[in-house]
Amino acid sequence: MDIPRIFAVREANHRIHNPVTAEKLAVLGQALHLEPGTTALDLASGSGEMLCTWARDHGLSGTGVDLCALFTEQARARAVELGVGDQVRFVHADAAGYTTDPVDLAACVGATWIGGGVAGTVELLARSLRPGGLMLIGEVYWRRPPPDRETVEACEATSEDDWLDLPGLLTQFGDLGYDVVEMVLADQDSWDRYTAAQWFTMRTWLDQNPDDELAEQVRAELRTEPARYARNTREYLGWGIFALRQRT
Ligand code: SAH
C-alpha cells in the first residue's frame, strides 16, 4: 500500500512536505521547551525532518509512521545522516487508527484526513498521549475568504466550509477541550518553499522521464500550476502547526 505516486514525484526532493521551512520547524522545536528524553509519535511523518532534527537538537526519541515508502526510506536515511538512527525509527504503514503506548508528544502535521478531520485526529492522537502531554496538529485554514468556486477547489476544499479561518480553528481546538499553547504559521514565502520547489523537482523529473505514464500529467501541471497557485492559493490558504494541551 502506498500513496498515489504523483505525490512522490512532485515532492521527491522535499525534506518537509508542508509549507513550513526548516527555520520555522526549529523555532517551533525551541518554543516547545522539549526536555531531553521526550518521547514522540508522529503520524504521517513524511521524510522525518521534524523527528530527526528535534532528536538531534533536543534529545527527543520516537516513532514516525507514513504510508509513502519513498518518504519513509528518506526519513531513515536522514536519521542516519543526522546521527540519530538509534533515537528515531520510521514505520511504513497506514497511520489511520495507529496507536502506541503513551508518549510525551503526539503529532500529526498536515494529514488530518487520517482521523477524518481535526476532531477525529485529536481524538486519535489522544489515545497515544500521556496525561499532560503535548499534541501537535498541522492544519490549513482560510487566510482570506475564498472569492469564488475556482479558489475553493484550488485549495482542495469541496466547499468553503471545509476549512475554518484562523480564529475559527483556534476556537475549535478549545471546543475540543484543549488549550492552544503555541503555534507557528506558514507565510507566503514558506508556501513558496513547499509549492514552487515542486516545480523544479517536476521539471527535472520530466526531463529524465519523458515517457513515464505520469509525464503528460506532470507536463500539464508545469504549464498551469504556477499561475493557478499565484491566483487561487497563495493568498488564500493559511497553514500552521498548533501545540495543544488538554484542559484539566
Ligand atoms: N508531516 C510530514 C508530512 C506531511 S505531508 C511533514 O510535515 O513533512 C502528508 C503525509 O501524509 C505524506 O508523507 C503522506 O505520505 C502521508 N500520508 C497520507 N495518507 C497517509 C496515511 N493514511 N497514513 C500515513 N501517512 C499518510
Report CA(42)–ligand 1 centroid distance (Å). Answer: 10
pLDDT (mean) for 87-110 = 98
User: For residue 180, what pLDDT band results from cuts at 50, 70 and 90?
Assistant: very high
Angle, CA of 236, 237 and 243, to the nearest 5°: 140
Cell of 230: 499565484
Report CA(136)–ligand 1 centroid distance (Å). Answer: 14
Whether the CB of 14 sits within 6 Å of ligand 1: no
Which of 9, 21, 66, 112 has most ligand 1 atoms within 8 Å of its beta carbon, as the pocket-test mutant? 66
Which of 10, 67, 156 has most ligand 1 atoms within 8 Å of its beta carbon, as the pocket-test mutant? 67
How far is 59 from 186, CA to CA, in rounded Å? 25
Whether the CB of 18 sits within 6 Å of ligand 1: yes
pLDDT tens for residues 193-225?
A: 999 999 999 999 999 999 999 999 999 999 999
How far is 42 from 105, CA to CA, in rounded Å? 8
Whether the CB of 94 sits within 6 Å of ligand 1: yes
Report CA(75)–ligand 1 centroid distance (Å). Answer: 12
Report CA(123)–ligand 1 centroid distance (Å). Answer: 18
Whether the CB of 87 sits within 6 Å of ligand 1: no
Cell of 120: 477525529
User: For residue 126, what pLDDT band results from cuts at 50, 70 and 90?
Assistant: very high
How far is 169 from 157, CA to CA, in rounded Å? 15
pLDDT (mean) for 9-38 = 97
Q: Which amino acid is at 66?
A: D
> What number of other Cβ atoms are within 10 A of residue 202's Cβ?
22
Angle, CA of 8, 22 and 114, to the nearest 5°: 50
Report CA(237)–ligand 1 centroid distance (Å). Answer: 19
Whether the CB of 41 sits within 6 Å of ligand 1: no
Crossing angle between the packed helical segments 188-208 and 215-228, to the nearest 10 degrees: 150
How far is 237 from 13, CA to CA, in rounded Å? 23
Q: What percentage of the chain reaches a pLDDT higher than 70?
A: 100
pLDDT tens for residues 42-52?
A: 999 999 999 99
pTM over cut 0.85: yes
Whether the CB of 3 sits within 6 Å of ligand 1: yes
Q: In what order do the strands lie in the sheet with 39-43?
A: 88-92, 61-66, 39-43, 103-109, 129-142, 237-246, 178-185
Q: Which residue puts its alpha carbon closest to atom 19 of ligand 1?
A: 67
